[in-house]
């Protein structure tokens, strides 16, 4: 049994937990709730074992000191670590707030990440470190970045819950915003499922996957008919979300979650994520770049997008503290912040580098 076995167990159990949390929300059956929590804990333990084993495997291949062997050096490993941080954060919240109702909103983020990993053909191979990555600053930079990403993911989930609970007008912006966000999330999930079923994905790199496979079975299909049908399906999902969104509101409110509590939790997650992101993501990243290349800041797309994300959250904090923004305005900002975070990580690596490659490497 190697690390991939335990990771496989974790993936399946997490997906199960996600389904259980959503059913728990729908049926309020406490037995299902216990199953959901148990599954999450089992998945978490299994993933922790997988992480430790991979660390050991990596150490044995690289032979460069135990710290340099932390398995956080490529897209696959970093996404897996993101899921780990997210689940850990979620378990802390479940335990602290003694409620399972957040599970249905946070575990799907882990679920879609795992789905992306599984179908993207993200290389799971252990690769020894190239020279630029042999730095202890990198370790601090990457770990802290992903802790902050997980915190931002949680703030996004609670902000959406806040919007779902408070938005009371069907044609008001907050209501439309959260239902459409939900629809985009569900549609991406389903579309990735279609990719998985209909295409034999054999991409060599995540970039190639994004360019050649992602959503090719649906939104980016060669056939105009399928693209049209997919768009109509998306509209339908969005419409259903919009039409029946108030049911979700009813469900959430029965769990004695007050808007204040959700707003407070959103703020708390950002108050943890922001300093960690600033220190680990921006400062340690700059120090590492300085030591490796002699440039602490070079305005490359990655750095620029980190800065944009940083600005969005700085905006959030100032709007809240100085301007006293509360309510849906600030919740929308938290969701935008996480969207920017996703782009900083995935978009820059996968989309912009794709945009900037001119067929030379394909």
Q: Residue numbers of the site for another protein (CB under 8 A)?
A: 127-128, 130-132, 134-135, 271-272, 274-275, 278-279, 283, 286-287, 290-297, 299, 301, 304-305, 307-308, 311-312, 314-315, 318-319, 322-323, 348, 352, 355-356, 358
Q: Which is nearer to another protein, 301 or 327 (by Cβ)?
A: 301
Shortest Cβ 276–another protein spacing (Å): 9
Measured distance CA(146)–CA(236) in Å, rounded: 34
- Min dist. Cβ of residue 275 to another protein (A): 4
* Residues 85, 88, 93, 96, Cα dihedral to 10°: -140
Residue closer to another protein (CB basis): 38 or 127: 127
Distance between CA atoms of 105 and 250, rounded to whole angstroms? 15
Q: DSSP secondary-structure letter at 133?
A: G
Q: Based on CB atoms, which residue is closest to another protein, 76 or 234?
A: 76
User: Nearest distance from residue 54's CB to another protein, in Å?
Assistant: 18
Specify the residue, 183 or 272, whose C-beta has the smaller distance to another protein: 272
Specify the long-range contacts of residues 311-314, CB closer than 8 Å, at least 24 apart: 312/336, 312/337, 312/340, 313/152, 313/270, 313/273, 313/274, 313/277, 313/337, 314/274
Q: Which two tokens stand for residue 143?
A: 């770990």
Contact predicate 10/50, CB 8 Å: yes
Our CB check for another protein shows the closer of 234 and 316 to be 316
Q: CA–CA separation, 296 vs 117, rounded Å? A: 31
Least distance (Å) between residue 109 CB and another protein: 24
DSSP class of residue 294 equals S
CB of 279 to another protein, least distance (A): 5
């Amino acid at each position: 049994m190697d690390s991939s076995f335990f990771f496989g167990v974790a993936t399946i159990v997490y997906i199960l937990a996600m389904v259980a949390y959503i059913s728990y929300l729908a049926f309020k059956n406490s037995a299902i709730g216990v199953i959901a929590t148990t599954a999450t804990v089992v998945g978490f333990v299994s993933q922790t074992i997988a992480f430790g084993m991979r660390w050991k495997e990596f150490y044995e291949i690289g032979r460069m000191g135990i710290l340099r062997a932390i398995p956080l050096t490529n897209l696959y490993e970093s996404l897996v670590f993101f899921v780990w941080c997210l689940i850990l954060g979620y378990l802390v919240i479940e335990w602290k707030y003694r409620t399972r109702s957040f599970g249905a909103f946070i575990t799907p983020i882990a679920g879609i990440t795992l789905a992306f990993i599984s179908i993207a053909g993200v290389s799971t191979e252990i690769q020894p470190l190239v020279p630029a990555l042999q730095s202890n600053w990198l370790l601090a930079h990457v770990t802290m970045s992903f802790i902050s990403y997980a915190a931002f993911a949680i703030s996004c989930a609670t902000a959406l819950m806040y919007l779902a609970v408070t938005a009371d007008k069907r044609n008001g912006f907050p209501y439309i915003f959260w239902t459409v966000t939900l629809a985009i999330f569900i549609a991406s999930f389903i579309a990735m499922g279609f990719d998985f079923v209909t295409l034999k994905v054999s991409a060599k790199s995540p970039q190639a996957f994004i360019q050649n496979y992602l959503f090719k079975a649906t939104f980016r299909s060669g056939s105009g008919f399928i693209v049209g049908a997919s768009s109509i399906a998306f509209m339908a999902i969005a419409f259903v979300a919009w039409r029946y969104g108030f049911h979700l509101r009813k469900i959430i409110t029965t769990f004695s979650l007050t808007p204040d509590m959700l707003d407070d939790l959103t703020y708390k997650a950002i108050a943890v994520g922001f300093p960690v992101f600033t220190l680990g993501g921006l400062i340690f990243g700059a120090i590492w770049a300085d030591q490796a290349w002699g440039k602490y800041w070079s305005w490359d797309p990655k750095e620029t997008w980190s800065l944009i994300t940083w600005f969005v959250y700085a905006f959030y904090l100032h709007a809240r503290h100085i301007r006293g923004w509360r309510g849906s305005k600030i919740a929308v900002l938290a969701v935008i912040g996480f969207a920017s975070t996703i782009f900083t990580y995935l978009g820059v690596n996968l989309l912009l580098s794709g945009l900037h490659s001119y067929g030379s490497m394909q």
